[in-house]
Structure 1
Amino acid sequence: MQTISLKRGLIYIVLLITVVALAIGFSINLFSQMSQYRQALLDRSQSDARMIAAHAVQNLAFSDNTAEQRRLSTLSNNQFIQHVHIYKIDSVSGDLSFFSSYNKEGLAPIPAKFAQIERLSSPRLQEEYIEVAQAIQLDGQVVGYVYLRASNNELRLFKLRSFAVACTVFVLTLLICTLLTLRLRRILSQPLDRIVDIVSQISRNKDYGLRLPESRVNEFNELGNALNIMLERVQHHILRQQKAEREASQLNAELEQQVTQRTKALRESNQELLTTLEQLHKYQGQLVESEKMASLGDMVAGVAHEVNTPIGLSVTASTLLQDKLAIMREKFDEKRISTNEFARFLEDCDENLSIIYRNLNRAADLVTSFKQVAVDQSSEVDRAIDIEQFTRDMLISVKPRRLNAEHFPINIEYAPGLCIVTKPGPLNQILINLVTNSMVHGFDNREQGRVDILFERRENELQITYRDDGRGVPNDIGKKIFDPFVTTKRGSGGSGLGLHLVYNLVTQVLGGQIHFFSELDHGVEFIVRFPVKSCENQT
């Protein structure tokens, strides 16, 4: 590590502070003086323009431009004014016309400023000059304008003089500050050198009996007293340490014997723990398989529930149609069928056949979806998955476990046409377990809630963000949420293996990662990432 000298550092810091303070002070002072002088020149130019306008009223009223020209020539003694134009307003057309002018000796005339006269009501400072316009009024009516251009040399000269004075004062002040700093360094460096010398001797010789002398500088005197106290304590500590080392060497022999005995006992205990751990792993695998079978049983129950509804409606409609057909056949045999009755019969037939057709199609779609989910559950082979169709099938399979869909909606977001290649079974099991976890734990004793699932393709990975706005997870549970047998429903049907199964499927089967975030009463968030392939690359 690079080191610096305190003596040089003190000089550099004092000089740097001095330079910065002087630079800021002189800059503010120069800026203030320049602003005041600049404003004074602007006010002066406007005052001169007003005076010229006041004296030009009479000549302009009588159109006596010769007299006005003689009057303007008296401005030759004024080194500030360079050009003056007098413009007259035509009483009929209202246009400006040139009436009279003055140009300082040695300066060429300048063009008329008819187009700019309105914008020069306030003085304008240009790079080389100042220009201003003043209205000439007669009985409250504007009859003309005065255009005045003044020299900017005074401002430039003032800047140069001010800058020269500031630089001179800056150099003198910096020189005085440097001399004072060198004097201060000598005052501080002498006691500091003594302290450094004594500390170096203590470091080289390890002679903690040395003490620092008193100093005329209070701060260094306090530092010396503190170092002397520290040296005394170090010396006392060394004596105590030497005594403790002698006692420790006596205890080591006794401890070695005790360690040998304890090691033997620990080895025997570890062997028993390993045997118990193997049995626990075996039971854990069995419980995980039981959890999968329970999930499959729920899905089968869902199949029966979902398929029974459309089939029941179809049976009801076909029975009703059969009854109506028997009535019509009886009337046909008796030849009592009217045209209206036959028309109503045809309408009833059409309506009931439509009901039967829709519900049988619905049952067929449900069977197809459940069949696909069942195939995915038992398959560990990668295949192309259309996220839209996959999530639709997943929602159908999870429907029996869901609460009221109106009060507990599941919102799924993904890019249109998103297609990936991965193992569908584990992915389906992950989503089903997360939704089930929200319904059983997150929305327990709640009247409404919401689940959001977001699918995002990121290069060669798929990220699934799962959120709910349920009751959240306490911090003590959240730290071990993926451990087996961790549940808040102990004794109420919860096994504590759902999220453990999710973790295993993500990390071991899909080769990905899962992260968990939660705050009590603010829901949960799971972020799942795992590698996938593009459907375009699937052969």
Structure 2
Amino acid sequence: MRISYRIATVGGIPVVIAALIAVSAWILLERAGRSREAAVLAGTVYREMIAATAARNDFIHSAPESRLPHEVTFRRATHGARAALDALGGLADQGIQADAVETARRASDRHAARLEELVEAITVSDARARGMAEQEARLLALAEQARQRQHAVNAALVASLAESDRRMHAGRDLVDGLHALREALLNARLAAMDGAAIAEPPASPPGSPPRSGGLALWLDRVERTADGLAASLAADTAHGAALDELTRLRAERLDRTTLPELAPRYDAFAGRLLKAADAGYGAVQDEVAELLRRTMSAHAMEQETQTLAMTALTLSGRTLRALERRDSRSLRDVVTDSGRLRDRVSGLPISPLIQDGMLAAITAWRDGLERTTDGLARQNGAIAAMDMDAAAVMSTARRLNDLFQDSAVGSADLLRSTLLIGATVGLLFAASAALLVAGGITRPLRRLQNATRRLARDPRDGLVTDLERRDELGDMARAVHHFAAEITRREDELRRAKEQADSTLAELRRTQAHLVQAEKLAALGQVVAGVAHEINTPLGITLTTSTLISEKVPKMKHLLESGHLRRRELERFLTDMGDVSELLVNNTVRAAELVQRFKELAVDPAGETRRRFDLRLCLMQAVEALGPFWEPGEHRVVVDCPPGLMMDGYPQAIAQIVSHLLLNAVNHAFADGAGDAGQGDAGQGEVRQRGTVTVCAGKAAAGVVELAVTDDGRGIPPELRTRIFDPFFTTRRDRGHAGLGLHIVHNTVNQLGGTIALEDAEEAGGARFVVRLPSATRVKKGA
């Protein structure tokens, strides 16, 4: 049997067992997930029913105008519980769970139906309460109207009583005055008979004229009493005749001589007036008594109307408190008390119109209260039934939650048992099969391993066994045997190839040395060609001028010796010699400068003494040294370097770098003539463009100094940027530039271990050369 089949058998047993376990686990997990989802829905039903009950209670105890939000809330909660029950029905298993869900559904439907009945009943009850409030307001208004009328009657009775009291007091004063008059007359008559005073009368009032003797005093008393009696009679129009009679009596002078005649007439007048006054006084007393009785009755009636209003308010308060408590028994007590109130109103001696209105208001209010009481009793019954239905739903929800939780726990336990048993069985089967297969594989492998080790020591000496096997191990043994033979063959080929490669390598080394030498010669040739090209022009001009001088001088010498030299020819000769000598000097100087620049290509900063220097001072000296190369008002060079920036290196090399960069900027960055943006040559008479070159220096990082030379000129075209550091590359060769400045800068920066890069100026355009050098520079060997 092939090893692949054995391995497939060993691997297939746990795979099949794992697949069975996975299917069982998926089924159990799905069941557990459904149970947990159903448990969550059962909890949702429980919470929604609690929310519905709370919202219903808030709806019942809220004011009619603020009940709508609570109604919306408990309707939504009731519908949410019903929706959760519908979803729960799809997850419940047949049997106990399905029966419990159906029971909860029926209870929820009854709860919803009673909810609609409760809302309708409370709406009707609110309407009746509004009607009762209107009747109550009407009753109170009528009671107040009756009280106001009774109050007006009481005021009239009090006024009549006051008038009767005044009349009674006036009659009493009249009787008292008549008795005083009769007493004074009697005493005066006695005084006249005896000639002396019988009794000492009261003293005369201040201001009255004194009279002599006792008779005079009593006569004066009679006069004063008559004055007072006249005043009392004048106050009442009913005593006009008596007043006239008294006036006539008083017109006759009363003294001792007239006393016997006038005294009987005064007595008769007083007697008649006393009889009339006594009769009037009794009638007034009877009238006052009747008025007092009627006043007390009216006051009691007013108090009764106020008591009725207070009773009505008390009944209204009791009704409101009973409605808030939803106490139907207290409402029935209020109905009974309202009947007594109606009886009291019917017995009141008030206006029939007001009495009928009050009785109608009490009757309507009492009828509304009776209907409200009956409705409240039905509402309480509906609420109790709703509470029972809600309790049934919540109880069923808790039961369903427990059932589904138990189902989920059972599924988890069964899953755990299945995984444990399946894993144990799979491990046992896999371990047994693995041991059997491993034994059939490892023994031949060990033999093959030993053979391979022998082949590794000596591929030519080793016997490979199990070549006759027809399984993978036999294939491996045959492959090892073939591999050993192939290794032996290839060792021979490699040995021969190595010998051939060694000879080829030697040849390559010789060729490489030849190519390096050729490259050096080509580079040297390029440099020599550049040097020859640059020096040929001034040397050629120098040679031409020297030849001209060598031709002109002998001719002039011959003319001078022969005496045929003219002044004009001498002047022409001197002029030509001046021009030729100037041309000769200029080209010789140019050749010397070119040679000096060629020497700078091989400048070695190591020849300079390495020292510590101030970079700012070094830059300022380099800029001042280049001042003669341009006019003072032509260009402006700005040095921006912080003071005290120290470097350890070669200041002359730094000055050389800055000088070449400044000269490059001044010679190439600014166009000749206004508006010239290219790199063309300037014509004669054109004005050179003015510009600014900025030299900035500072620390770029720890141990690194950055040196930037920026101009605001026309910049360098992109197609030329890759060639600017090449030797002898220039766009101003017609102006005498050799194209070695930037190449010298590049070589010097490399020798100092730094880098140079070309960047675009950010603000004003132009070019920006950035040199980064170590603050402690050292010359790189071989650079």
- The alignment's TM-score, normalised by the length of structure 2, stands at 0.29
Structure with more relative contact order (C-alpha pairs < 8 Å, separation 6 or more): 2
Please identify the structure whose Cα radius of gyration is greater. 2
Structure with greater proportional strand content: 1
- The alignment's TM-score, normalised by the length of structure 1, stands at 0.39
Structure with greater proportional helix content: 2
